[in-house]
Chains A and B, each alone.
Chain A
């Protein structure tokens, strides 16, 4: 059975003006920017297990995942 398409809801312009959070800029990258992000991908930071993360993992294990 085909999925029923529901019209997406978008914020009105007036609602957009209330935005206080970050405004994401969607744009293409320059070649320099592109190379910069490739460099990050190829030299990724190392995830570190520390006391803070141990506490987060401990709390996360309490969550029942039902998705």
Chain B
């Protein structure tokens, strides 16, 4: 973890001062979201994007990863259940800079995202977290116990009680 280990790290909500154009995770959709959509959605409270900013020893700052969270709801179209809505948090995007591949940056981002979700769950009711995964990211999500989603093969779900367990780990040594 050479490059990552030598950085000072800050997690910040995306703002207009962040240099998003230098970010490249090699996935067009994830680059485009950060560079063209994320700030607008964050300013409008549609989704919130958090950026992990790394400062090198020479003082230069770069976005080394980001994730975006939004609220969604799953519902039973057949309405056979009286209580047929399941509110969830959608991890809309999660990506790390291509230069830091293999250095656990994605896992650190996921851990930070789950921390925020766990904090929100103490104040607002929802049942879990879901996401659509890339093949490259799938193993990362499986490490955090994301499992099958009724939306199908490219989606995964994690119940909120499991998310809270991860947040509790941070209080342990």
Given A24-B132, A34-B81, A66-B12, answer yes or no on A47-B76 (Cβ-Cβ < 8 Å): no
- A18-B32, A60-B108 given; A52·B143 CB < 8 A: yes
| A9:B11 contact, CB within 8 angstroms | no
Q: List, in ascending order, chain A residues with CB within 8 A of B166's CB.
A: 47, 53
Instruction: Map CB proximity to A onto B95-112 as digits: 1 under 8 Å, 0 otherwise.
Output: 000000000100110011
Distance in angstroms from A57 CB to nearest chain B CB is 6
Q: Cβ of B9 and Cβ of A52 under 8 Å apart? A: no
Is A64 in contact with B10, judged by CB distance below 8 angstroms?
yes
Is B80 among interface residues, defined by CB-CB distance under 8 A? yes
Contact present for B74 and A29 (CB under 8 Å): yes
**Complex interface: chain A residues within 8 A of B12 (CB):** 66-67
Q: Are B37 and A10 in contact (CB under 8 A)?
A: yes
Q: Could you tell me if B74 and A37 are in contact, using CB atoms closer than 8 angstroms?
A: yes
Contact B104 A59 (CB under 8 A): yes
Interface size class of chain A, counting residues whose CB lies under 8 Å from the partner chain: 35 or more
**Do the beta carbons of B154 and A22 come within 8 Å of each other?**
yes
- CB under 8 Å from chain A, chain B span 49-90: 50, 52, 74-78, 80-81, 84, 86
A20 and B27 form a contact (CB under 8 A): yes
B143-A29 in contact (CB<8A): no
Interface: A56 (CB within 8 A)? yes
Q: A21-B27, A31-B80, A46-B162 are in contact. Are A6 and B143 (CB under 8 A)?
A: no
Q: Which of B28, B75, B145, B169 contacts A18 (CB 8 A)?
A: B28
Instruction: Write the residues of chain B forming the contact surface with A, with a CB cutoff of 8 angstroms.
Output: 1, 4, 8-13, 27-30, 32, 36-37, 40-41, 43-44, 46, 50, 52, 74-78, 80-81, 84, 86, 104, 107-108, 111-112, 115-116, 127-128, 132-134, 143-145, 147-152, 154-155, 157-162, 165-166, 169-170, 172
19 contacting pairs across A/B (C-beta < 8 A): A6-B40, A9-B40, A18-B28, A18-B32, A21-B27, A22-B134, A24-B155, A29-B150, A30-B76, A34-B78, A37-B86, A38-B86, A45-B158, A46-B162, A47-B144, A60-B115, A63-B11, A65-B11, A66-B10
